Amino acid sequence: RMSFGYRFWNRGELAFEFSLLSHSFRRSDAQEQVARSAFLVTGTYFPFSQSAVYVQAGLGYGFYSAVGIYTGGVTTDPPVSPPLVSGEGPAVAFGVGADMSLNEHWSVRPGLRYTFISLGDLLLNDSALLAAGRGSHVIAFSLGLIFRGM
C-alpha cells in the first residue's frame, strides 16, 4: 500500500492511501489471478502518549477482479475466455500496529489490518450478473517505512 499523510497533532495522522493485494496460483489446470484494490482516507490514532502503539481506521472505495477462475453455469454471449469476474463498492479498514523510530526522521511501522469491500453485484465479463450482495474480506500484515520530513 502507498500512503501520503500528515501528522496534524502528536497523537493523530490523516492520510490518503492506495492499497493493492494481488495473488495468483494454479488449481488443477487453470491459472487464477485475483486482485483487490482500494482508495482510502485513513486516520491513525496513537492512544498512549509515551507508546508507539496505534489504531487505524479508513473509509473509501474498493475494486475486485478475478481472471480465469469461473466455471459456473452463468455464460455471456459471445463467450469470453478467460472469464473475468469483477465488482466494486464502498470499503472500510481497521488496523493496529506500532511505530518504531529509527532516528529523528525515519521509522518502521509494522501493522495488522482488516479490510472489507462491499462489492454489490459480481459481474461475469462486465455484463452477466454472477452474484449479488457479495463482499471481499482481507486480513494483511504490512511493514511501512515512514519519513517524517525535515
Q: What is the pLDDT of residues 66-91, one digit of tens each?
A: 887 666 666 666 666 667 888 899 99
pLDDT attached to residue 91: 95
Please state, rounded to an integer, the average pLDDT across all residues of the chain. 84
- For residue 97, what is the enclosing H or E element? strand 84-98
pLDDT attached to residue 82: 67
* pTM greater than 0.85 (yes/no): no
